[in-house]
Structure 1
Amino acid sequence: MDLFTTVQGTVAAIGSIDYSQKDEPYVLSEDALTCLKDIKRWLRLIDEKYDTFEVRYVLAKLCLVKKDLFSILSSWDGNFRNPKSWRIALGCLEILVPLTWPLETDENTSRENWEMLPNLKQAQEDYKTLIIDHPKNRVIKSILAVLLRPLSTSYEKRTDRDNGIIRIITYLFRNLSRIDEIKSRSETLLSFSSSHILDFIVTACSSIAEFQELDVVFLEIIYYLIRGIAPKVIFTSEESAKNQLNKLLQDELRSKRINSKNSTTRHTRFGTMTSIVSSDNRRYTVTGQNMQGTGLEKLDSTKKYRRAKRKKNNVDDIDKSVQISADAKTVLRGFVTTFMDSSFNPLFESLLRAMEREEPRFLEIHRLYYFYVQSFFLECLILKDPVKSGVYSNDYAYGLVASVLDPRALIMLQRVLREAFELRQWPLFQAGLLAFTKVITTIHSMSLSSEKEFQDIADNMLSNLFYEESNLELVVSVLKSYRLQSFGFLNALTEFVTVLLKELELFSSAKQYLYVKRRRKKQNREKSNLDIVEEEKLEIEQADTIEQDRLFSFNAYEARFCHEACVNTFLTFLYHYRELSPVQILRVITFFHRIFVRQKCQVLLYRLDILRLFDRISDDYVGFPRSNPARQEFEAFYRYYAKKLTDNLMRVPALYTELLFPKISGTMYYLQHGEDPAKDNHVSRRGALYELVPGLTYEQQIAVCVAVLINEQKTELLDELKTSIGIAMNERKAWEQRILALNTEAPPDDEFRDPLAVPVFYLKGETEAFRNAQLKDEFQEPIDPRHPEDPWFLPSSITYEKLSEYSQLLKRFTEQPPVFEGTTAEALLIKKPRGHVRLPSPDNSEDSDSEDENNEFEPDDPITFANRKQTLKLKPVKRRREISEEELVKRKEQKENKEKEKKSAIKSSKFVVDSDDDPEADAAFFAAEEELRRRNALRGKTNNISTAITGTDFSLLDSYSLDNASSDEMNDETLGLSRKRSRVSKIIVDESDEE
């Protein structure tokens, strides 16, 4: 006997419709519960154990769900205090859960499963339709009635079996929300609302401590209910909905105009026919009424450019747009509002703990769900409350989403983004980008709040977000690495970059100093000390990089986006300008403005494809009409772009050729300015500044400086300095005499910078060594870095007499070197760092450690340095190395194996409720068995029939190799077969009685 015949007999033994009665009710057999248990065991021992779809495929062909299970559930009165009827309803759900479980496939899926997959998907869609569209929601109400029995028991008194019942019914809700979730979204929301399933989700999530193992299941249900629905659609008024409908109608009309612009009509075949023969004797023929004027243009328009096929990544766009009805919007709006008020923080705190601890129930896919749902509710926080009037319109209840704004949650978000980027998990990375964008937007809104507490919290959070330079570098790397991901990924990426740059610019401009933690490679130094212990050796080998705080420059960071790959990413996004909203188009124009105008990397946008795209957009008044709010901004940028391009083409004719090719960094300056950059003859790195110990007289200061130069054997620099001062004395004396002759007053110091007014006096040397010393050995930082000679400028206050006095002192100390008692000249000089390039270090002096080991520096900006006690100390860390392709594949395989183990454990939970664990059901079963044996003994026919059936059923088990199953499973199977034999015996006996 094959599997189909065996399952068919069991299904037929559950019950059938009684056509003899007027209302044709569904009548259960006495062994209906036993039949349901047998079907559940077959699903577990065949489908789950051998990873096949055969049993559920047979059940779909036999219409078990439609004819039997739904008939049983819809006819039940919902009285869960009746143990027999409640147990039969639970048996139906134990079968319904695995039948609606998501059908998972991979590269190891068998051919038979692939063949059965379409039919099973259609069967699951039919199951869902029958459940949510059933009259008066009788099926869902019966499901909830089964759930009420374990829920009515207090949390402390619930058994494992009660928790298992709650778990499988929650999985059933998850399955229903996932099946055909795009097409039937509105029906699912309305059915869940009318049957109070949404209320159950809100209540369970608000007290998630009682349902901690089900937090990921609730997350999945919410994800499939909101996926693809924009929050602004939910919270729009009826008038906005009408405006949206009018916009859709206008878009449809515009698309028709675009399609009909170049379409042919029945009149285009009349007119002139033109044929052109190419050099290879190929003939091209076009016809039309205007062929004499535009024949060649029409011929060119008929040519098709066959681009080389590129392998596209099969990336699932997690943000596909879904349209729902007005009633479903109302339901979802109420659910979102209620969920945020009482359930959002408890659920996401539980999920965050599970993700941090890597709990077995928290799979890899749940991280994607977590960040997507987080971004959805963060956007709903701003939209669900009406905008208040007045200056401060950003006063929202930010405490409702405190769980995802916690530092632990932000650290987890940044970590997941880095891991997803390294492992090329683009759907997860897209969800992380969406969440990060909404987090920054929420923090920005919080910083504009009228409450000072929220402003301080937002300032601190932004400081912590921007403190890690690796996070900022990740943004540039991702923008450069975009290739063939989905359009939703491209939209999320461009939005994230735009929001991050805007917020980072505002935050850095509001701070006098902004520091970021930077990792740099430690310089290799020779290990001369042979007495180092083994632990110190190991520490030196591992600590090849150090962390150091450095001053952040937004202009320098923005310049890193001046790259060909970054421009290509935004250009790819702009190619879809007909489908983009005005906000999305302005996003691209803003980025190009940063590159072209602010960073002045104009040559980077001088490309033929960019020029052609701008020209096509400008001429396309159908796809990009004048009524579009972004049209004016685009035209203004295009005019400026064209003007600059024209000027550069006239000044640099070589740019005509360079329009066709990518730009090289070495030639970009020449193409933009028409000349090579001026070479800097100064040393590449300027030395430290010096200052003298306070309390010295001016004569003593000169003596210290001369003594240091003599000790360093730099007497030639002193000789050249005396010569330079002598030349300055002669120029100063001649100028003073000219001033006296003209009877005029000396101009102020700043007028000396004008060479047309008065001569400028600088101390200049003849040799390269003297010019390098001027840059390396200074006592004053130049005001303008572009003028390093500023400290050697002679103001008008220094007269000829003072210069003569200085020359005499220099000559005297050179001929008679000064001697210092009790100290040296070098000890009277103190080094100090230049400007604010780096943080002050406690190691500035040689004896700083011995004097004060616990020296604490007060930061310039307490908000920037919040919660960082060791900002001034260098901390060794391990090197962050690039991941090779082999290691990437190995890590992915390890993660997939780990996920499979977790999934197998989760799958087994849908069979956690065993029928044999119910004492009430067992008592009723044994009583029925005793009555059946008594009746069969009277008939005297049971033994022969049972013997005939025994061999067939065991041969069926042998065909599926069930003899290798565990002892417990075989005992359960044997028990089921004995029940089935007695059940079939009863049916045959009844038939013989009728005869």
Structure 2
Amino acid sequence: MEDPETVTDKDLLLSTCTALGGYEEVETPDGKIEYKYAVGDEALDLKRFIRYGTREPEKSTLFILAEFNLIEKDLVPLILTHANQDSAIAERFVLACVELIVPMTWPLDKDNEEERPIYSRMLEYHRQYKLALLAPNVLEAIVHLVFRPLSVPFRERSERDQTVIRLVLYLLRNLTAIPDLRVSPSATGDMLRMATMQERLLIRFCESPIMELLLTMASSSMDADSAEFNVMVLEIVHNILQHVNPKDVFLGDINKKADNANQTSKLSLLLEEENDRKRVKSRKEPTRHNRFGGSFTLQGWDGSRYVVHNPKAIYSSTNQLIDEKKKPDRRGQKRKERDEIGEYVAYRDSQALIYMKRMAQSFLESCFNDIEREDKKIMEKDHLRLYFTMKWFLEYLAYEHAAYHSAKERKEKEKQTDIESSSELFLPPRADVRTAADTSQAISTDIEKTDEPLPFDYDLVASAMDLRTFLLCLRRLRVSLEDKLWLDVQVGADCFKQMLLTLTAMASSPHEEYRQLADYIQGNIYHEQSTFDLFIDLIKRYRNQSLGYLLAVVQLTHVLLKMLEKFSKKQQVMFVRKKKSKLRKEKADEDTAQGDSESDEESAEERRERQIAYREHVFKFESLEAKYATTDVVRIYCSLLENYSTLKPEILICITTLFHRIMVKRKVEHPFFKLPVLDLFNRILSEYHYLPKSPAMSQLVQFIRYSVRQFFKRANEYPLLFVEALFKTTAVTNHLDQGDIDDKADESSDEEENNPSPPRQDQPGVPSAGADLPEELPEDFMFMD
């Protein structure tokens, strides 16, 4: 039985909603009867009830309005009635509806303890609201409200004009923040419509002036008239980009041109992946007749008997048969966090992807340099949205550049082929005779003259390719790591990785200014030892974070080590600055009184700054590599490698490359001589023939075989290694670190720091079995399929 107070509130709200109006029969001039919405004679103040309801933890008022279906039955028809009327009264009606819709669609925070119990139920109503507001001409009538206030100069705008703009942006933010419903293809029609609302909303944005309005406000975010709305526009753009891959957006129009072929290739890939999974699964599952194929009894040392119904028992070992029946003990183990990025794809329609690509290109051309902003009013979640948006557009820019260079190389090959196959006779001028080198140089010069300019140059992302932005991203990574904001750390690591990849592309650019800027930024971000310590902490702090966090950190580590190795080889001498705390030495007795009097005048902060000393040391890349050669790093990488059957080839390359750096280059072998690592390697080798074939998987298996051979080779020399493999750490494994670099080498004398000698080259003698492993990846490894 309902609470009497709730029944009273419900009756009061019902009478208020009824007073708004309703459908009436209206006769048209041709004699037909139509139902049109008519405004009521009296409407009480619904805003007052909604304002009161939003302050309640239970949100009972909002639930009652949702049960009455206020938006679909009253507000949407009221907006459509005044949509085509250009009058002040019609504008007031639409604005009044927007003032009601905005608090009713306000997004809830599922991490908030007060809003968590009602999150799922309210989200269902929000989806119904979003579906109702996607009716034709509704969003167009709402966005028409901001045209007049925006046409007024900023200094002449009233408070009402600013409020109207803010309300419309809030409504757009609320709609883009409502996630789609995840359903199966066999769901009902209404549920399927709720599963594609986001792409329908994007199409409506692009076919109406809404997307143009958002891009215009984003491009003028540094101006005073738009500075107030920066955060809202950034949040809207983030919500649009959140559930789509830049690669899918870039290939959107390409896939539409060859839709049938693309669909066929996708289906074939899906079938191939399914067959691979079935093949691996069939090796462990019993078949229909396995129970009757043989029964075997195992007798234990205490006389107990164990019956096995499996034909494999005739040739399998006893330990293997018993271990297959064991269940893992999960007591005391925490669950890993759920991946919140890339959970599902919101845009599958080719038309929506084409619109998204146009939006991305327009954003790069006119808006990207204006999204970077440091303001006191920016909240914690705004940093996440900023770096996610920056990473998304930088990755899309990389695809544009890759396509441009691919087309350029194809044109050069075609032109070179045409010239070589042409029957035209090229006569040298006058009596001079050109050599073949001169002819090829002339051809290449002619090709360069006919080249088209880069469609999206690096000036469009100048705000991201700035030293200040790199330092801000590093600072945000450090703060998020200290506060244990793992999602922020994941987004920051992804963004910084993409910034480094863009910096790599700039370093190989034919333009001198881009190369100089890339060297300048790398020289500054590599100057602090704390930066390298931060990246090592990102790996060592991994416990129960999501798989996406681990993938982001592994890829960032790979890109950083690859770029740093290349940059350090390019520089003859490279310095890093370290921060050290030094104890002040006691002075002689005659100077003690004078020192105490001076210290009393100093503040605590000045005293601390005097104790901290910065010293520059000669950077050695081998020392940094040695810091990754630990058991913890190998254990964390192996936890990612547990998903070897589903990992992408570029992730396998990242893992194999770091393993190669540790075992072959640094000759640190004992982290791989542990029972969990060897068991993982054994499972990969046994299932190698059933796994998807790729060069990355072949290189990984090659490393595993080399590692296993080294283990048995060392075990023959040191039999206790079989015992040490059972323990996490031992006191006698240090003798295996033959190639480890002592960190004490960094503590060189002042004479060596002031007059450094060039870093010595790597010593020869790397084992031939490991020399075939990939020391470096191709520059475009992030774009491998």
Q: TM-score range by the shorter chain?
A: 0.7 to 0.9
Mark the structure with the bigger radius of gyration. 1
Separation of aligned partners in 2, 1:668 and 1:318: 41
Alignment match, 1:602? 669
Give the partner amino acid of 1:118. Answer: S
Alignment match, 1:217? 232
Structure 1 residue 281: Cα displacement:
7.5
Secondary structure in structure 1 of the residue aligned to 2:735? helix
Q: 1:87 to 1:602 in 2, by over 3 A?
A: same
Unaligned runs of 5+ in 1: 689-832, 841-858, 862-995
Alignment match, 1:305? 328
Separation of aligned partners in 2, 1:479 and 1:295: 38
Q: Does 1:6 align with 2:17?
A: no
Separation of aligned partners in 2, 1:232 and 1:452: 29
Deviations 1:43-94 (A, max 9, x none): 11x2233444111111001110110011112233333x31112111111111
Deviations 1:541-596 (A, max 9, x none): 54221112221111111111111111111111111111111111111000000000
Q: Compute the TM-score of the two structures, normalised by the length of structure 2.
A: 0.80
Alignment match, 2:547? 487
Alignment match, 1:119? 121
Secondary structure in structure 2 of the residue aligned to 1:525? coil
Alignment match, 2:530? 470
Give the partner amino acid of 1:217. Answer: M
Q: 1:497 to 1:308 in 2, by over 3 A?
A: same
Q: Is the 8 A contact 2:574 2:619 kept in 1?
A: yes
Number of residue pairs matched by the alignment: 670
- Counterparts in 2 of 1:222-237, with a 5 A limit? 222-236=237-251, 237=254
Q: Does 1:336 align with 2:360?
A: yes
Alignment match, 1:656? 722
Secondary structure in structure 2 of the residue aligned to 1:27? strand
Alignment match, 2:271? 249
Alignment match, 1:205? 218
1 or 2 for the larger relative contact order (CA 8 Å, sep ≥6)? Answer: 1
Structure 1 residue 274: Cα displacement:
3.4
- Counterparts in 2 of 1:373-412, with a 5 A limit? 373-385=389-401, 386-388=403-405, 389=408, 397-412=457-472
Q: Does 1:511 align with 2:571?
A: yes
Q: Is the 8 A contact 2:337 2:544 kept in 1?
A: no
Q: Is the 8 A contact 2:71 2:132 kept in 1?
A: no
Q: Is the 8 A contact 2:669 2:736 kept in 1?
A: no
Q: Does 1:259 align with 2:270?
A: no
Give the partner amino acid of 2:358. Answer: G
Secondary structure in structure 2 of the residue aligned to 1:272? coil
Q: Is the 8 A contact 1:167 1:214 kept in 2?
A: yes
Q: Does 1:370 align with 2:394?
A: no
Alignment match, 2:779? none
Q: Is the 8 A contact 2:24 2:38 kept in 1?
A: yes
Q: 1:162 to 1:684 in 2, by over 3 A?
A: closer
Structure 1 residue 244: Cα displacement:
4.8
Q: 1:323 to 1:275 in 2, by over 3 A?
A: farther
Separation of aligned partners in 2, 1:260 and 1:660: 31
Separation of aligned partners in 1, 2:458 and 2:629: 37
Q: Does 1:158 align with 2:224?
A: no
Separation of aligned partners in 1, 2:557 and 2:746: 34
Give the partner amino acid of 2:720. Answer: A
Separation of aligned partners in 2, 1:218 and 1:181: 21
Deviations 1:827-859 (A, max 9, x none): xxxxxx54x33469xxxxxxxxxxxxxxxxxx9
Give the partner amino acid of 1:258. Answer: V
Structure 1 residue 406: Cα displacement:
2.2
Alignment match, 2:188? none
Separation of aligned partners in 1, 2:323 and 2:242: 44
Alignment match, 2:493? 433
Structure 1 residue 284: Cα displacement:
3.8
Structure 1 residue 436: Cα displacement:
0.9
Separation of aligned partners in 2, 1:148 and 1:101: 23
Separation of aligned partners in 2, 1:623 and 1:12: 66
Question: Which stretch shows the higher mean deviation, 67-76 or 564-573?
Answer: 67-76
CA-based RMSD:
3.1
Unaligned runs of 5+ in 2: 1-6, 28-32, 182-194, 410-443, 760-785
Q: Is the 8 A contact 1:257 1:622 kept in 2?
A: no
Secondary structure in structure 2 of the residue aligned to 1:573? helix
The partner residue of 2:371 within 347, 353, 356 is 347
Give the partner amino acid of 2:161. Answer: D
Give the partner amino acid of 1:601. Answer: V
Q: 1:644 to 1:83 in 2, by over 3 A?
A: same
- Counterparts in 2 of 1:885-896, with a 5 A limit? none
Separation of aligned partners in 1, 2:398 and 2:308: 58
Identical aligned residues as a percent: 27
Alignment match, 1:667? 732
Structure 1 residue 316: Cα displacement:
5.2
Q: 1:150 to 1:78 in 2, by over 3 A?
A: farther
Structure 1 residue 648: Cα displacement:
0.9
Separation of aligned partners in 2, 1:668 and 1:838: 37
Alignment match, 2:753? 837
Separation of aligned partners in 1, 2:387 and 2:747: 48
Q: Is the 8 A contact 2:149 2:162 kept in 1?
A: yes
Deviations 1:436-480 (A, max 9, x none): 111111111101000111111110000111111111111112211
The partner residue of 2:50 within 14, 22, 43 is 43
Q: Is the 8 A contact 1:315 1:426 kept in 2?
A: no
Structure 1 residue 338: Cα displacement:
0.5
The partner residue of 1:591 within 643, 655, 658 is 658
Alignment match, 2:177? 178
Secondary structure in structure 2 of the residue aligned to 1:17? strand
Alignment match, 1:772? none
Deviations 1:464-512 (A, max 9, x none): 1111111111111221121110000000000011111111111111101
Alignment match, 2:89? 84
Structure 1 residue 324: Cα displacement:
2.3
Deviations 1:74-128 (A, max 9, x none): 233333x31112111111111111111012355652xxx6654433211101111
Q: 1:309 to 1:669 in 2, by over 3 A?
A: closer
Give the partner amino acid of 1:387. Answer: Y
Separation of aligned partners in 1, 2:338 and 2:310: 44
The partner residue of 1:128 within 114, 127, 130 is 130
Give the partner amino acid of 1:27. Answer: A
Deviations 1:371-426 (A, max 9, x none): 11111111111212423235999965111111122222222111111111111111
Structure 1 residue 153: Cα displacement:
3.0
Q: 1:15 to 1:244 in 2, by over 3 A?
A: same
The partner residue of 1:96 within 97, 101, 123 is 101
Separation of aligned partners in 2, 1:249 and 1:406: 45
Separation of aligned partners in 1, 2:315 and 2:95: 79
Structure 1 residue 283: Cα displacement:
5.5
Q: 1:78 to 1:537 in 2, by over 3 A?
A: closer
Separation of aligned partners in 2, 1:567 and 1:860: 31
Deviations 1:210-263 (A, max 9, x none): 221111111111111111422122213326955455333321232233334433
Q: Is the 8 A contact 1:652 1:672 kept in 2?
A: no
Q: Compute the TM-score of the two structures, normalised by the length of structure 1.
A: 0.63
Deviations 1:278-307 (A, max 9, x none): 567866433345654459555542332223
Structure 1 residue 687: Cα displacement:
11
The partner residue of 2:518 within 449, 458, 462 is 458
Q: Is the 8 A contact 1:578 1:623 kept in 2?
A: no
Separation of aligned partners in 2, 1:147 and 1:687: 66
Alignment match, 1:715? none
Give the partner amino acid of 1:226. Answer: L
Separation of aligned partners in 2, 1:458 and 1:668: 42
Deviations 1:173-198 (A, max 9, x none): 11111101575432232222223322
Alignment match, 1:196? 209
Secondary structure in structure 2 of the residue aligned to 1:30? coil
Secondary structure in structure 1 of the residue aligned to 2:643? coil
